[in-house]
Chain A
């Protein structure tokens, strides 16, 4: 079902954990199955000095999180912004069609973390970000009530 690369990242995920004094935090939820991915970044001189993730989700969700952290660690924020969901999936040697939505989470969570760092994240506290992402009304992780994804 999964490529070797996916299984390798799933079995040995890179950069797992949280950064308590992170400069930016991005949380993304999967509206279809209701899973969660959270990315923490530490920024120095416009570079991603450190990055960690936490994921509640399937094998593909774990592998894409792990892969995205590996792809952008040490990169500039501008470079990190160019990493797309598609690129993450490709770097993993592809994902099963039904799992393609999982790869959306990783890059999106990263971009949100950068937004958060750059202050575009509407100056929300981490707590309220979490609340927003998990509340059924905002639809990010209401799971079943949420509208189906565009793809």
Chain B
């Protein structure tokens, strides 16, 4: 196989900046460099760009411009949402409900709040990674400040029933706020804050071909919120610090493209996804698709390959120009396997052999076929090297 063109299949990690976003951003690094808080003309250009970005993003989410807070990314948005609601409600509640497959930006923030005296319920998910509205509602009490459930899981692609969850929560406890980490959802799923019925929603710009270091927090009007940064009145006193004007401009442009192209791009990606899944299942024994088979992000493929280790698979794929990621302990800085795979019941040694392929707009059916052709050789070679493949189990 002599395909030398790199095949990038890690869009869930990050995606290439859209050229139109880059083009829109450039003037704000140079001639339109002004601080939006200043009064003179140069600064007013930046101010105007900022206001337009609020309008644009708000309209794409079905929100009001004043409900949009620009942040440094998905992690900050999750932190601000969870800590912001928790600290604002100390007088009446002390409880948070989430799931055990959330991104670490949510889980570690919850861990932090536990140390500050809050109680957190981490709901288990089923074998497909799903949590049910009934499960969430049952965990909510009159002391529950916040429910945080992701729109779609970044590792296994499972789509959670967030709208139904929000409805069930509000029925039981109207003053409980509902947050969703929608970082993987934008551009793949409809993201409308009113249809979802959420009070807070996190987005990360570089996941939808915007710039890194830029994110969005939607905060529904009237939601009790304590800002996490002090020192300025930016973003209506909710996020101090001079705005990342170029990043915000790029975010709005990339988001508009991702949302308007979704109806075309999502089915196309889903077809590629299904081609890759069928190809892998048809060519290899001892594979397991992780995540829900149909209630799944259109661009997510995640498999475990038995008896082999993920980093070794990734390095071999890289030799062939294929970029993917793994939930193996050996690829994580903590040397712990993916908490998501363990949560859906994958045994530790099987989790080692996990590979996630996350597709993007530039991928083609030929790319999928190339991966399907490349994998069996890699897996067989590694299995031949593995002591597990030869041992009684």
Report yes or no: B391 in contact with A58, Cβ–Cβ below 8 A.
no
By the criterion of a CB under 8 Å from any partner CB, how many residues of chain B are at the interface? Answer: 26
Report yes or no: B349 in contact with A34, Cβ–Cβ below 8 A.
yes
Residues of A within 8 A of B284 (CB): none
Given A54-B387, A130-B391, CB of A59 within 8 Å of CB of B312:
yes
A32 vs B329: C-alpha distance when bound (angstroms): 9
Per a CB cutoff under 8 Å, which of B309, B319, B348, B391 touches A57? B309
A35 within 8 A of B: yes
Report yes or no: B386 in contact with A54, Cβ–Cβ below 8 A.
yes
Given A11-B319, A144-B336, CB of A36 within 8 Å of CB of B329:
no
B388 within 8 A of A: yes
Given A16-B385, A33-B329, CB of A56 within 8 Å of CB of B335:
no
A3 vs B93: C-alpha distance when bound (angstroms): 53
**Chain B residue nearest to A6 in the complex (CB):** B315
Report yes or no: A27 in contact with B335, Cβ–Cβ below 8 A.
no
B271 within 8 A of A: no
Per a CB cutoff under 8 Å, which of A58, A127, A130, A134 touches B309? A58
CB proximity of B373 to chain A, nearest CB, Å: 19
Report yes or no: B386 in contact with A144, Cβ–Cβ below 8 A.
no
Report yes or no: B312 in contact with A62, Cβ–Cβ below 8 A.
yes
Which among A17, A32, A37, A56 has the highest number of chain B CB atoms within 10 Å?
Answer: A56
Residues of B within 8 A of A127 (CB): 392
A55 within 8 A of B: yes
Report yes or no: A58 in contact with B328, Cβ–Cβ below 8 A.
yes
A10 vs B387: C-alpha distance when bound (angstroms): 16
Residues of A within 8 A of B307 (CB): 56
A16 vs B348: C-alpha distance when bound (angstroms): 25
Q: Mark A31-61, 1 if CB is under 8 A from B, else 0.
A: 0111111100000000000000011111101
Q: Mark B294-310, 1 if CB is under 8 A from A, else 0.
A: 00000000000001110
Given A57-B312, A58-B311, CB of A33 within 8 Å of CB of B385:
no
Q: Mark A8-34, 1 if CB is under 8 A from B, else 0.
A: 001101001110000000010000111
A16 vs B386: C-alpha distance when bound (angstroms): 9
Residues of B within 8 A of A134 (CB): 391
- Residues facing A in B305-336 (CB within 8 A) are 307-309, 311-312, 315, 319, 328-331, 333, 335-336
A98 within 8 A of B: yes
Per a CB cutoff under 8 Å, which of A61, A98, A144 touches B333? A98
Residues of B within 8 A of A37 (CB): 387
B390 within 8 A of A: yes
Residues of A within 8 A of B337 (CB): 33-34, 143
B278 within 8 A of A: no
Residues of B within 8 A of A55 (CB): 385-387
**Chain A residue nearest to B319 in the complex (CB):** A11
Which among B307, B385, B388, B390 has the highest number of chain A CB atoms within 10 Å?
Answer: B385
B384 within 8 A of A: yes
Report yes or no: A54 in contact with B349, Cβ–Cβ below 8 A.
no
21 contacts between A and B (CB under 8 A): A10-B312, A10-B315, A11-B319, A16-B384, A32-B335, A33-B328, A33-B335, A33-B336, A34-B349, A35-B309, A36-B387, A38-B387, A54-B386, A57-B312, A58-B312, A58-B331, A61-B309, A143-B337, A143-B348, A143-B349, A144-B348
**B interface residue numbers (CB < 8 A to A):** 307-309, 311-312, 315, 319, 328-331, 333, 335-337, 348-349, 352, 384-388, 390-392
Question: Besides A54-B387, A59-B315, A143-B349, 19 other CB < 8 A contacts?
Answer: A11-B319, A18-B390, A32-B329, A33-B329, A33-B352, A34-B337, A34-B349, A35-B329, A35-B352, A37-B387, A54-B390, A55-B387, A56-B388, A58-B312, A58-B330, A62-B312, A62-B385, A98-B335, A134-B391
